[in-house]
A and B are shown apart, each in its own frame.
Chain A
Amino acid sequence: MRLATFSGLLVLGLGLASIQSANAASIYAGEAKAATVCSQCHGIRTPSADAPFPPLAGRDVEYLKTALKQYRDKTRKSDIMNAIAGSLSDDDINNVATYYAKLKP
């Protein structure tokens, strides 16, 4: 394999990946999580015109992460979001925030 000949690069790559791993979000995992958890209320690109839920697509990634973490630790109060965010791991939060932030509304 060609990759083997670049083992040096590969090691470097792995090194970078491990440094990033805490933050490296997967938009694919985020998409899957969004489809099964968030989109029920918030939609993918836009929530229902009749829904009382804010849109998430294109929102600032840091804002989304912070909000979800606040909902999770209940420093921000909402019956429904406290319960739903409570089921999300740090990775889940990174992934869905990154996914929604990258979507064009």
Chain B
Amino acid sequence: MNTTKKRLFKSVITGLAAIILPLGVQATSDTPKDMHQLYEDNCASCHGSDHGGYLAPALNSDKLKGRSPTSLRSLIMTGSFDTLMPPFYGRLSDDEIRGLVKYLQTTPKQANPAWTIDDIKASLKVYVKDESTLPAKPTYQINSMDDVIGVAARGKYGRGSGSKAVFINSTTHKQIGEVATGTAAHIIDYNPANPRWAYVKTDTAEIFKIDLYSMQAVRSVKTGYNGPGMGVSRDGKYIMAGSFVPHNAVILDADTLEPLKTFELEGIDPDGKMVSSDSGMILGTPFDDIFAIALENAGQVWVVDLKEGFPVTKIEKVGRHLHDAFLTHGGRKLMIAAYDDNIVAAIDLKDRKIIKKLDAGCVPHVGGGAAVEVDGRTLGFGTNFGDCEKTVVSVWDLDKMEVVKQVPVAGGTESPAAHANAPYVAVDIISKDRRARTIQLIDKLSLEVVKTLDVGGHAYFPEYSADGKFLYVSAGYSGDEVVVYDSTSLEKVASVQMESPAGIFSHGRVRYMTRGLSPDEMKGAK
């Protein structure tokens, strides 16, 4: 928060406190069980079902010790500017808000709640029983399914009617369909083998199988309580999903969404301690019939072979607090970010070992990653939260595995976008002030920032259309629109309204694997 906003926010809080305090403490009859349900229904999708934090901070007795109940109550009422925290004024009664504050300040972080393979099985919902009744081709005008671009709309409250996956024709910028997801959509993956299927994962760990031809969900399954990790195998037959709560992962049949095997995520971390671990990124790769999954806290990458018994090869000591990753070299090499070591580790998925660790700025978060071919070199681009003095985007030579340049940018960054046909690599500035409205464009040749676009809202998750002609950016938080720019002139060409848009996922990704690479190179690589 910058000082102006901080001051403003303080004045709001003080103002509210002055009005609220004289009302005095009202007795609440809410039992902890009711409060638990209220927490699950309103807070847990962002703050974690175990009270341990997820997208948003942990809310438990330890974290909230010493915080004024009045200021917490005001914060819940007004929401928090510059974050995704919405105002609950008018949605929760004053008694409920008071009860929640009391409940949160007295409830410790919960033990990992169980969500077993039986729970997953029982959660399966079938919306279209006979898939042969579905149309044989898209029910809307589109030249290629690659032109479909999906946006994860969070909805203001992270749930409700605003929470959906919105699909847009990226040549006309018109919405072609939307699928309600109940809670905030987070990740959209496409089936590499059949263009009609998309998979959407929500913050409450449900996966929806979506028929893009008729724009409807055909099945859904709940894989855990919270966690965005999801990947699809190269043959389109399997999905792997991983959770923050509880600490497990599951392989699903991509066709039926039935669970096939679960994995307890635990292992010895780089400091020698046995830990239970959140699931980080999960990727299928065009290189092999495998999944790679990051164990965030254990600092390990597991390679799961898609054969009888789904055996696991564990790569240890990859880095502290692993998170997201991208693929290069035909999907053989995996570049994975380690928050606490400020590195990106390159892993060879064939030899299943670490190739090298590269400097990656402060708290690297590579998003979907980006890689471009320039002058015969394959350059990778790595964003990072930049929670330090130095705010840079790292550029690596992915053949030699060395740092080429650290490009100074205006603030912390979360996701780079690139396309073989577009001249710029776009990065989203996420620093919590006016800069969060902007994205910056790095020239592929000079590796310098050449332009800053004022998108509005909290601008993040840039993504190019499959033909590279247009750049899509979410004006998220209260911005409530996806803004479309011409990739070369950088003129704004369209806007698509939706509530709190976040991640943007081009269907073209299944062809170029990592954004910025050309589909032709992918063919050559196979």
A44 x B90 contact (CB < 8 A) = no
- The residue in chain A whose Cβ has the minimal distance to the Cβ of B15 is A83
Find A80's partner among B16, B437, B480, B499 (CB 8 Å cutoff): B16
User: Given contacts A41-B79, A80-B89, is CB(A48)–CB(B15) below 8 Å?
Assistant: no
Choose the segment among A6-14, A50-58, A62-70, A93-101 that binds chain B (4+ C-beta atoms closer than 8 Å).
A50-58
User: Given contacts A49-B161, A52-B90, A52-B91, is CB(A40)–CB(B78) below 8 Å?
Assistant: yes
Cβ distance B163 to chain A, nearest Cβ, rounded Å: 9
A86 x B497 contact (CB < 8 A) = no
Cβ distance A47 to chain B, nearest Cβ, rounded Å: 8
Is residue B87 contacting chain A, with contact meaning CB distance below 8 A?
yes
- CB neighbours (8 Å) of A53 from chain B are 87, 90
A41 and B157 alpha carbons, distance in the complex (Å): 11
- Chain B interface: which size bin? 20 to 34
Q: Mark B470-481, 1 if CB is under 8 A from A, else 0.
A: 000000001111
Question: B11, B19, B79 — which one has the most chain A CB atoms within 10 A of its CB?
Answer: B19
Q: Mark B491-509, 1 if CB is under 8 A from A, else 0.
A: 0000001010000000000
Within 8 A of A (CB), among B269-315: none
Find A48's partner among B19, B20, B162 (CB 8 Å cutoff): B162
Find B87's partner among A41, A46, A86 (CB 8 Å cutoff): A41
- CB neighbours (8 Å) of A48 from chain B are 86, 155-157, 160, 162, 499
Is residue B5 contacting chain A, with contact meaning CB distance below 8 A?
yes
A51 and B377 alpha carbons, distance in the complex (Å): 50
Is residue B12 contacting chain A, with contact meaning CB distance below 8 A?
yes
- CB neighbours (8 Å) of A51 from chain B are 86-87, 90-91, 156-157
User: Given contacts A48-B499, A84-B15, is CB(A35)–CB(B478) below 8 Å?
Assistant: yes
Cβ distance B202 to chain A, nearest Cβ, rounded Å: 16
A83 and B155 alpha carbons, distance in the complex (Å): 26
A43 and B457 alpha carbons, distance in the complex (Å): 10
Find A45's partner among B4, B16, B497 (CB 8 Å cutoff): B497
B499 x A49 contact (CB < 8 A) = yes
- CB neighbours (8 Å) of A46 from chain B are 480, 497
Cβ distance B347 to chain A, nearest Cβ, rounded Å: 41
Query: Can you list 16 residue pairs at the A/B interface with Cβ under 8 Å?
Result: A35-B457, A35-B478, A39-B478, A40-B86, A40-B478, A43-B478, A43-B480, A46-B497, A48-B156, A50-B162, A51-B90, A52-B89, A79-B19, A83-B18, A83-B19, A84-B78
Cβ distance A91 to chain B, nearest Cβ, rounded Å: 15
A53 and B162 alpha carbons, distance in the complex (Å): 15
Is residue B456 contacting chain A, with contact meaning CB distance below 8 A?
yes
A100 and B345 alpha carbons, distance in the complex (Å): 48
B20 x A79 contact (CB < 8 A) = yes
- CB neighbours (8 Å) of A44 from chain B are 456, 478-481
A80 and B79 alpha carbons, distance in the complex (Å): 11
Is residue A20 contacting chain B, with contact meaning CB distance below 8 A?
no
Find A86's partner among B15, B91, B155, B481 (CB 8 Å cutoff): B15
A50 x B87 contact (CB < 8 A) = no
User: Given contacts A43-B480, A48-B157, A48-B162, is CB(A37)–CB(B15) below 8 Å?
Assistant: no
A83 and B10 alpha carbons, distance in the complex (Å): 11
Cβ distance A12 to chain B, nearest Cβ, rounded Å: 34
Is residue B77 contacting chain A, with contact meaning CB distance below 8 A?
yes
